[in-house]
């Protein structure tokens, strides 16, 4: 299983490299990969010194969504560390220092770029109104054996609504 996990990590890193370089070419900017000790902060930076901007990006892949109009984003809010007492630590969205959250919709061959602050505000708004849908596995052991990782607690956000609620969003 360690070999499979390492392969999965390497493939994820390769996908991030491909996407980051494509975005850098698209926006005519430079690229910095976060290779440091704080990998949870962001995956890469796109920057353009002549224009005075730097955008940190957190990237995630979606292999399930098959429709923009009916699909949902699965946004990791927390990670369960212990199945017995349901100990949960902060997930990707809570720990990231990124400015943008990039979701690669592999089945649709689309990329969605969302502003992290706008995404967090949408989740807070939905939670306060009681409309936030949450996904978490019922069987932690089954999750671990299938995914080789700890189970997550995630927000399910309708794609169309999420994009419309973020004036900074882009779909490629």
**Tens digits of per-residue pLDDT, 57-76?**
999 999 889 999 999 999 99
Residue 3 has pLDDT above 70, yes or no: yes
Q: Please give the pLDDT value at position 35.
A: 79
Is pLDDT above 90 for 2? Answer: no
5 vs 126, which has greater pLDDT? Answer: 126
Contact 99, 114 (CB under 8 A): no
172 closest CA partner among 130, 112, 98, 131: 112
Instruction: Cite the DSSP H helix spans in the chain.
Output: 2-26, 92-95, 116-129, 140-147, 159-165
For residue 117, the model assigns a pLDDT of 96
Kindly report the backbone phi and psi dihedral angles of residue 110, in degrees, each rounded to the nearest multiple of 5, phi listed first.
Answer: -130, 155
CB 57 within 8 A of CB 98: yes
Task: Give pLDDT tens digits for 74-121.
Answer: 999 998 886 666 778 888 888 999 999 999 999 999 999 999 999 999
Query: d(Cα 81, Cα 35) in Å, to the nearest integer?
Result: 25
102 and 112 in contact (C-beta within 8 Å)?
yes
pLDDT at 27 over 70: yes
Residue 6's Cα: distance from chain center in Å?
A: 20
Indicate the DSSP class of residue 106. G
């Amino acid at each position: 299983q360690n070999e499979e996990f390492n392969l999965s990590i390497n493939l994820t890193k390769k996908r991030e490299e491909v996407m980051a370089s494509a975005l850098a070419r698209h926006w005519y900017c430079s690229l910095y990969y976060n290779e440091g000790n704080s990998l949870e902060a962001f995956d890469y930076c796109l920057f353009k010194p002549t224009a005075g901007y730097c955008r940190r990006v957190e990237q995630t892949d979606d292999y399930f969504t098959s429709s923009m109009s009916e699909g949902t984003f699965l946004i990791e809010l927390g990670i369960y560390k212990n199945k017995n007492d349901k100990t949960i630590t902060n997930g990707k969205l809570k720990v990231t220092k990124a400015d943008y959250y990039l979701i690669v919709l592999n089945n649709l061959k689309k990329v969605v770029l969302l502003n992290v602050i706008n995404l967090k505000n949408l989740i807070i708004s939905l939670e306060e109104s009681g409309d936030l849908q949450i996904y978490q596995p019922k069987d932690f052991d089954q999750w671990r054996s299938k995914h080789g990782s700890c189970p997550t607690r995630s927000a399910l956000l309708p794609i169309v609504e999420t994009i419309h609620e973020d004036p900074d969003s882009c779909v490629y």
